Amino acid sequence: MTSRCAHKVAEYILNVDAVLSEAFRVLKPGGRTIFIATDWDTLVWFSDDAKRMAAVLKSWEAHCAHPHLPRAMAHRLKNAGFRFDGAFVYPLLNLSYDEDSYSKGLSTIIDKFVGGRGDLSAGELNGWLNEFERLDEADRYFFSINRYGFKASRPAL
């Protein structure tokens, strides 16, 4: 039996149904797959400026074609011919803003992406990014996001 995993790929492809159909085509009968995707609405990032945080995250949604893909993933897998074998969720949680945290790396990526879009002023974006160090020093830093896994298989002949 073959197994394949697609980790945070499908949400970035405009025609996600074509991706799933192709995955079904290349998977051997009896083969299994896991698709992992993020629903960006599950991102919880504490800020003293909730309005600014909401504006940054709204602009960030444009970074991928399907920012809420998990909501439709089971249905899409079935439509592609897969047998849906279940789902799971795993949260990422950071309570500090340090070099080893997922959220610190993500914040620099978001800063560059949102800055390039021009949706917020440079001052607003700098204030957003600089707040995390202050929150961390005050033991008030909080970041969480959910990743969703969808297990599927190609029925045996």
**Domains of the chain, start order:** 3-153 (3.40.50.150)
For residue 101, the model assigns a pLDDT of 95
Token pair 């299994």 is at which residue?
A: 32
pLDDT at site 12 = 87
Bridge partners of residue 88, in order along the sequence: 149
Specify the pLDDT at position 6.
53
Quick: pLDDT tens for 24-53: 999 999 999 999 999 999 999 999 999 999
pLDDT at residue 7 tops 80? no
pLDDT for the residue 111: 96
Spatial separation of the C-alpha atoms in residues 78 and 111, rounded to whole Å: 37
pTM summary value: 0.88
Instruction: Tokens for 149, please give them.
Output: 């896994």
* pLDDT above 80 for 2: no
Q: How far is 96 from 17, CA to CA, in rounded Å? A: 38
pLDDT grade, residue 10 (50/70/90)? confident
Would you say residue 157 has pLDDT above 80? no
CA distance 3 to 23: 11
Distance of CA 92 to the CA centre of its chain: 11
Which residue from 17, 11, 21, 106 is spatially nearest to 62, judged by alpha carbons?
A: 11
**Averaged confidence pLDDT in the chain:** 93
Tens-place pLDDT, residues 75-128: 999 999 999 999 999 999 999 999 999 999 999 999 999 999 999 999 999 999
User: Tell me, what DSSP letter sits at residue 152?
Assistant: E
Beta strands in the chain, from DSSP E residues, in sequence order:
3-7, 32-38, 44-45, 83-94, 143-153
Q: Is 81 exposed, middle or buried (0-12, 13-18, 19+ CB in 10 A)?
A: middle
Cα-flanking dihedrals φ and ψ of residue 34, to 5°? -130, 130
What was the pLDDT predicted at 8? 64
Q: Which residues, listed in sequence order, are joined to residue 144 by a DSSP beta bridge? A: 44, 93
